[in-house]
Amino acid sequence: MKIPRLLQAVGVIVGIYAGFVLVFDYLLGQVIPSSLLSMYMFFVIAGVFMVYTFTEESARELVAPIKALVEDPSKKRIRNVVFILIPLLVAGFTYQRMSPSFEAPVELRSIHPAPPATVKAYGKRYDLATLKNPFRKYEKAKPEKFRELVREGGDIYIQNCQYCHGDKLDGRGPYAAGLNPTPLNFQDVGTIAQLQESFLFWRIATGGPGLPKEAAPWISSMPVWQDFLTEEEIWKVILFLYDYTGRRPRSWEHE
Amino acid sequence: MRTLLAIAAALLVVTNVWAKPGDVDMGKAVYDQRCIWCHGVEGDGDSAATEWLNPPPRDFSSAQYKIKTTGFDDIVPNDEDIYRMIAKGMPGTAMPGWDDILSEQEIWDLTAYIKTFGGLEEETPSQQVDYGTPVPSSPESIARGQELFLDGERCSECHGEDGKGDSIKGLKDDNGERTWPRNLTKPWTFRGSNDSKDIYSRISVGIPGTQMPSFADPTSKKKLSTEERWHIANYVQSLAKIDEVVRAENTVVKADKLEGDLPAAVDDPRWQQTEASTFFLIPQMIGEERFFKPSNDTITVRALYSDNEIALLLEWDDRTRSIPGDEKAEKISDPEIAEDAVAIQLPIHIPDGMEKPYFGMGDAANTVNIWHWASGTTEKPESVALLNSRGFGEIERREPAQVRIQATGRYEKGTWRVLMKRPLLTSPADQDIQFLEGEFIPIAFAAWDGSNSETGSRHTLTTWYWLLLKPASGNKPLITALLMAFLIAGLLFWWARGASSPKERSQDGNG
């Protein structure tokens, strides 16, 4: 049986739409933004329309069922149904669009803001471009001492940081769900692996309130750790973060 | 495709078969990397974390496992019990599920290694939980379960009449650690999940090392048949307060508008018609004296407003009513007992842009209002305080009557409900938030359990959420929608008419 061309065209459009949703939302797990989807579908519909109306005959064939619906007296009943349904759909859509949604305002904040050139902490000024982890050198020079420092860093982490960043360093500690913004996931390749150790020192020592405005310091729950930990303790925790996740800090030097 | 699937299925079967016997040495390697931080190098639960965690990390050298499915008088757990705790973790504790970063084999290896701490490597369990014939949940089964739950205070003795764990008993585990009966209305805190089969297992085995007994024990006065245990499991599962579960996407407390006066009592039926928003309470770990062992975990908020007033209803489960000076309350409290309390935090101005006051009591440039209600002592009644804060150290006490803040609370069966009210506008307007319809106003909450040594900076809190006085949307959307419908319908009929009239058709054809 030959499928009417109008049905074919609608089928193609719906199929492509379902394909987008299937691939992005389900297979890739990345929900496709509705604005992007609308744009794609605009081109899809335009394309399908062009293909199906390429010749005059094909165009006539495409609109034939619509014409028949409007003109053919034998289709009176179905015409009445369609003519009631369409205005209702339009009304429903308009109503939904115009009703206020009460959704929370979107807050855009920078997750990795650009670090300042210098940082004040522990009553001193640090130059972030040259600041180094004083313990990093032991990794090659004295591996045993290094292991010990990592171990000490782990103990500091578990006493202070796991509540939010988690035992697995995945940002899903026992209280993480109560925080907004959510704690950083150190296992993710996009976090500490992209940063220098001096950046981490800055973020830990001065905490949420030390963030620049574009990063919304007023909502960050990161404590100001210079109030609770010594400088050395912060450096040891940083060793632990990289060691446990198997990531390497970013560095200017070529290794 | 089909062959691929078959191979994958075959692989799954194969891995399952050889995965089970764990390798102790491999397990030790994983343990030393992942587990020592809390459970200690020796597996005795002695680590840097021990005194900071509630509950403390398990001491494997005790050979005692709380969540197991072997017979109630059999100390040996099934390997699957240990495997499951590692793979899925224990909700409501610091133990996460590890199955996302450890392989199945690694978890079996760990299981084998952990058993060596308590000398269980050669032991096999002699009995299993008898599940009898599972009874599916039904209104009849739940009703029967409730009867058995309350009968002779079988379960309510500790878990309370409504299952909120609020019975007034100072329970201690075998190590002398204070323990609390589970609040059965919060299934996401059940250590071994709220699946009815898991609840059945807990009822049958008890929780070794704690005062939760086995109800399968034939020598127990409160013993239950397998069928009766299923009824109780179904009842316990039915207690879950589904409407008061935290929904992460809900960040807005929406206040509905009422005509006339707002409710003056916490049990006014009109509260039940409003939408409830529930948020996690987390311990205050940010400034001053940090706090790590909270007892309150969520707070539920409802709001209503009228032409001139706003009222908020705050509701949270607290197992103990903390009344300083009351002998009974002090006996079950951790010293030093203090009043229970709750607070609302609001900026003094609705923010223009994105910037808000620091969520921890404001900052130098951005002052917050704090409305703080305290439950009272034997000497003084409940009270409300008004604070303007610009950070931890910069708190100004003000007179709440000046802006007509009122607060009243009631404690009932393990739940506090506190109602706070204020006129929408104050004069002068520069020291207090002015509530305007349709504006998103930042709002945060804090709670204190006075029986859990919570005073001052030791308390639980939320981060910023939003309060919205829902504007009456009017009938503009409805009118526009109707207009659109008529317009489209008109066009359609005009078209149909034109098309079916032969005269017009011929004209169209000529044109």
- Spell out the domain ranges in chain A: 5-98, 118-245
The tokens describing B231, both together, are 């009824």
Q: How does pLDDT run across B282-331, given as a tens digit for each residue?
A: 999 998 889 999 999 999 999 999 999 999 999 999 999 999 999 888 88
Spatial distance between the Cα atoms of B207 and B66, rounded to a whole number of angstroms: 5
| A78 shares contact with chain B (CB less than 8 Å) | no
Q: Which of A67, A166, A209 has its CB closest to that of B96?
A: A166
d(CA B136, CA B246): 27
User: Which of residues B172 and A225 earns the better pLDDT score?
Assistant: A225
Residue B4 has a pLDDT of 53
Q: Residue B485 and residue A91: Cβ atoms within 8 Å?
A: yes
Residue-level pLDDT at B509: 43
Residues of A in contact with B480 (CB under 8 A): 94-95, 98
Separation CA B21–CA B102 (nearest Å): 16
* pLDDT mean across residues, chain B: 90
Of the candidates B463, B480, B499, the beta carbon closest to that of A94 is on: B480
With an 8 Å Cβ cutoff, are B488 and A90 in contact?
yes
For B85-108, the pLDDT digits (tens) are 999 999 999 999 999 999 999 999
Check residue A60 and give its pLDDT: 85
CB contact A122 to B (< 8 Å)? no
Q: Which residue of B has its CA nearest to A74?
A: B500
Q: Is the pLDDT confidence value at A42 over 70?
A: yes
Chain A closest CA to B124's CA: distance in Å? 31
* Interface list for B 70-109 with A (CB within 8 A): 92-96, 98, 100-101
The answer on pLDDT for B15 being more than 70 is no
Please name every residue paired with B460 in a beta bridge, in sequence order, or none if there are none. Answer: B283, B447
Q: Scanning every residue of chain B, which has its alpha carbon at the shortest distance from the alpha carbon of A209?
A: B358
Q: ipTM of the predicted structure? A: 0.86
Q: Which of A159, A217, A244 sits opposite B48 (nearest CB)?
A: A159
pLDDT at A26: 82
Residues 22-51 of B with CB under 8 A from A: 33-34, 37-38, 47-49
Contacts of B251 (CB under 8 A, 6+ apart): A104, A180, B465, B466
A213 in B contact zone (CB under 8 Å)? yes
Residue contact B37–A167, C-beta within 8 A: yes
| Whether pLDDT at B197 is above 90 | yes
* Chain A hits for B350, Cβ within 8 Å: none
Predicted pLDDT of residue B335: 81
Please report the pLDDT score of residue A184 as a whole number: 93
Which residue of B98, B473, B484 is in closest CB contact with A100? B473
- pLDDT of B354: 85
Residue A111 confidence class, pLDDT cut points 50, 70, 90: confident
Tokens for B326?
């009351």
Residue B501 has pLDDT above 80, yes or no: no
Query: What is the distance in angstroms between the Cα of A113 and the nearest Cα belonging to chain B?
Result: 16
CB of B438 within 8 A of CB of B471? yes
Report chain A's mean pLDDT, rounded to a whole number: 89
**Residue B29 clears pLDDT 90, i.e. is over it:** yes
Residue B110 has pLDDT above 60, yes or no: yes
A226 touches B at CB < 8 Å:
no
Chain A positions touching B357 (Cβ under 8 A) are: 218
Q: Looking at beta carbons, which residues of chain A come within 8 Å of B303?
A: none
Q: Is B474 left (phi over 0), alpha (psi -120 to 50) or beta?
A: left
Q: How far is CA B172 from CA B5, B180, B181, B199, B455, in A?
A: 52, 8, 10, 21, 23
Is A229 or B500 the better-scoring residue by pLDDT? Answer: A229
For A185, which DSSP code?
-
Which of A158, A169, A172 to mutate against chain B (most B CBs within 10 Å)? A158
| Stretch B341-358: mean pLDDT | 94
B252 in contact with A, Cβ within 8 Å: yes
Does A73 touch chain B if contact means CB atoms closer than 8 Å? yes
Q: Is the pLDDT of residue B344 over 80?
A: yes
Q: Name which of A147, A127, A250, A243 is nearest A197 in CA terms.
A: A250
Count CB neighbours of B435 within 10 A.
22
Q: Does residue B2 surpass a pLDDT of 70?
A: no
Is there a contact between B256 and B272 (Cβ–Cβ < 8 Å)? no
Nearest CA in chain A to B32: A151
A218 and B47 within 8 Å at the Cβ level: the answer is no
Mean pLDDT of B64-77: 92
The predicted structure's pLDDT at residue A110: 84
Residues of B whose CB is below 8 A from A67 = 499
Is the pLDDT score of A238 beyond 60? yes
Q: Where are the beta strands (DSSP E) in chain A?
A: 118-121, 124-127
Instruction: Using alpha carbons, list the distances in angstroms from residue A89 to A81, B485, B494.
Output: 12, 8, 19
- Cβ–Cβ under 8 Å, residues B136 and B129: no
Q: How far is B292 from chain A (nearest CA, A)?
A: 9
Query: B176 in helix, strand or coil?
Result: coil
CA A184 – CA B263 distance, rounded (Å): 42
Q: Indicate the residue of B286, B363, B477 with minimum beta-carbon distance to A223.
A: B286
pLDDT tens-digit map of B368-381: 999 999 999 999 99
CA distance B95 to A158: 12
Q: Do the chains contact at A213 and B355, CB–CB below 8 Å?
A: yes
CB-closest option in B354, B473, B499 to A99: B473
- Compute CA distances B265 → B262, B270, B271, B272, B418, whole Å: 9, 10, 9, 12, 9
Calpha distance A100→B437 (Å, rounded): 13
Q: Is B282 an 8 Å CB contact of chain A?
A: yes
pTM confidence score: 0.84
pLDDT in tens, A149-202: 999 999 999 999 999 999 999 999 999 999 988 999 999 988 999 899 999 999
Q: Is B254 exposed, middle or buried (0-12, 13-18, 19+ CB in 10 A)?
A: middle
Mean pLDDT of B384-401: 94
Task: Check if B485 contacts A (Cβ < 8 Å).
Answer: yes
Tell whether A155 lies on the interface with B, counting CB pairs under 8 A: yes
Identify all chain B residues contacting A216, using CB atoms and an 8 Å cutoff. 354-355
Distance from CA of A238 to the nearest CA of B (A): 16
8 A C-beta contact, residue B181 and residue B163: no
Question: What pLDDT does residue B511 have?
Answer: 35
Task: Report the pLDDT value the prediction gives residue B20, as an integer from 0 to 100.
Answer: 62
pLDDT of B13: 46
CB contact under 8 A, A159 and B499: no
Q: What's the CATH class of domain A118-245?
A: mainly alpha
Interchain CB distance below 8 Å, B47 and A158: yes
Rounded Cα distance, B236 and B150, in Å = 12
Question: Using a CB cutoff of 8 Å and minimum separation of 24, what contacts does A132-140 make?
Answer: A132/A197, A132/A198, A133/A197, A133/A201, A133/A235, A133/A238, A133/A239, A133/A249, A134/A232, A134/A235, A135/A235, A135/A236, A135/A239, A136/A197, A136/A239, A136/A249
* φ and ψ at residue B321, rounded to 5 degrees: -90, 115
Chain A interface test: which of B291, B500, B505 (most A C-beta within 10 Å): B500
Site from B30, B37, B504 to mutate, A interface, most A CB atoms within 10 angstroms: B37
DSSP B139: H
What is the nearest CA distance from A134 to chain B, expressed in angstroms?
A: 24
Nearest-by-CA chain B residue for A181: B463
The answer for residues whose C-beta is within 8 angstroms of residue A101's C-beta and 6 or more apart is none
Q: What percentage of chain B carries pLDDT values higher than 90?
A: 73
Whether the CB of B462 is below 8 Å from some CB of chain A: the reply is: yes
Question: pLDDT band at residue B241, thresholds of 50, 70 and 90?
Answer: confident
Average pLDDT over residues A234-255: 87
Q: Does B382 have pLDDT greater than 50?
A: yes
Confidence of residue A71 (pLDDT cuts 50, 70, 90): confident
Q: Does B47 sit within 8 Å of A155, measured CB to CB?
A: yes
